[in-house]
Amino acid sequence: MVEVNPNLQLRAEVKNLSFSYSTEKKVLNSVSMPIYDTKVTALIGPSGCGKTTLLRCFNRMHDLYKVKEYQGEITLYPEQMNILSKDIDPIEVRMRIGMVFQKPNPFPKTIFENVVYGLRVRGVKKTSFIQERCEKALQQAGLWDEVKDRLNSSAQMLSGGQQQRLCIARALATEPEVLLLDEPTSALDPISTAHVEELIIELKKDVTIVIVTHNLHQAARVSDYTAFMYLGDLIEYGPTTKIFTNPADKRTESYITGRFG
């Protein structure tokens, strides 16, 4: 059982979360862990361990497909609302929790329209506000200087790394409380990856980040807390330094030293 550190502010808490796509096999098996405010939490583990599935529970992405039952809770602080509850509209959840995907997925629109998409969807009309937010988000994503002269050209013209930072800017423009990153650098070259990692460290001042990554070095570099998952179970959760230097569980140790996974 994971102890919650009382000295830190909670942003979300996963409580006994189980989830399955089909009836037989459980993909998540009673996972419990805290997500601390303005910290980076990394989810690591071998392929098929359920880390992406867990991440996609946070913004109810599973609701888009033939709905499966969520069992357990994800409590969002400060108001302590269970975002998995049937009474909660997934759209409201997604308005507060942003997500960046593995593959950069800019919309076939201009750079500007990509960044302000969330605002348009929310019905924001005020042009000055929209422009202000666009600039701020692009600056936060470290992309402003590269694209400020061509905001009206197509987002497809950007390189892969720029597209991914554009997707981060798009998620940031609506000032989400939690930002979910699903292997955000797996499709990028090393330089773009370094860019995005610097960005994550910069961003955690303002926003809580949950990142799924296959790259253990990345988890060690950017995260404050790490959760190691294996076959749907949360094996170990703790401060990143502890997980990487002094893991309590044998399986965690084997995984981070590269003996399997």
Partner 1 sequence: MANTAKKTSKLSTFTSANHPVRRMRRFREMMIELVLFLAAASSVLVTVGIVWILVSESLPFFQTVSLVEFLTETQWTPLFAEPKYGILPLVCGTLLTTFVALLVAIPLGTISATFLSEYTNSTVREIVKPVLELLAAVPTVVYGYFALIFVTPLLQKIIPDLSGFNVLSAGLVIGIMIIPYISSLAEDAMRSVPGYLREGSFAMGASRFQTSFRVVIPAAFSGITSAYILGISRAIGETMVVAIAAGMQPNFTLNPLQPAETITAYIVQVSMGDLPHGSIGYQSIYVAGLTLLVMTLMFNVIGYYLKKKYRESY
Cis before 78? omega within 30 = yes
Is residue 107 a contact residue for partner 1 (CB under 8 A)?
yes
Q: How are beta strands 233-239 and 225-230 bridged, if at all?
A: antiparallel
Give the one residue of 153, 156, 245, 246 binding partner 1; rule: CB under 8 A: 156
Two structure tokens written together for 22: 């089909």
From the list 80-88, 167-175, 192-200, 247-255, the region that binds partner 1 by CB under 8 A is: 167-175
Is residue 66 a contact residue for partner 1 (CB under 8 A)?
yes
Considering the complex, state which of residue 157 and residue 248 has its C-beta at the smaller distance from partner 1.
Answer: 157
Is residue 171 a contact residue for partner 1 (CB under 8 A)?
yes
Is residue 101 a contact residue for partner 1 (CB under 8 A)?
yes
DSSP one-letter code for 19 = E
What is d(CA 167, CA 49) in angstroms, rounded to the nearest whole number?
26
Give the one residue of 34, 45, 50, 98 binding partner 1; rule: CB under 8 A: 98
Give the one residue of 59, 140, 162, 213 binding partner 1; rule: CB under 8 A: 59
Give the one residue of 99, 188, 210, 227 binding partner 1; rule: CB under 8 A: 99
Two structure tokens written together for 28: 């998540």
Distances (CA, A) of 82 to 50, 61, 78: 20, 15, 11
Considering the complex, state which of residue 92 and residue 189 has its C-beta at the smaller distance from partner 1.
Answer: 92
Looking at the chain, list the stretches that DSSP marks H as alpha helix, in order from N- to C-terminal side.
Answer: 51-58, 90-96, 111-115, 117-121, 127-140, 144-147, 160-172, 190-203, 216-222, 240-245, 250-256
Give the one residue of 4, 67, 121, 248 binding partner 1; rule: CB under 8 A: 121
Give the one residue of 117, 135, 206, 221 binding partner 1; rule: CB under 8 A: 117
Considering the complex, state which of residue 66 and residue 86 has its C-beta at the smaller distance from partner 1.
Answer: 66
Two structure tokens written together for 227: 């959760």
From the list 3-11, 24-32, 90-98, 200-208, the region that binds partner 1 by CB under 8 A is: 90-98
CA 23 to chain centroid, in Å, comes to 27
What is d(CA 113, CA 12) in angstroms, rounded to the nearest whole number?
31
Footprint on this chain of partner 1 (rule: CB under 8 A):
59, 61, 64, 66, 91-92, 94-95, 98-99, 101, 103, 105-109, 117-118, 120-122, 156, 167, 170-171, 174
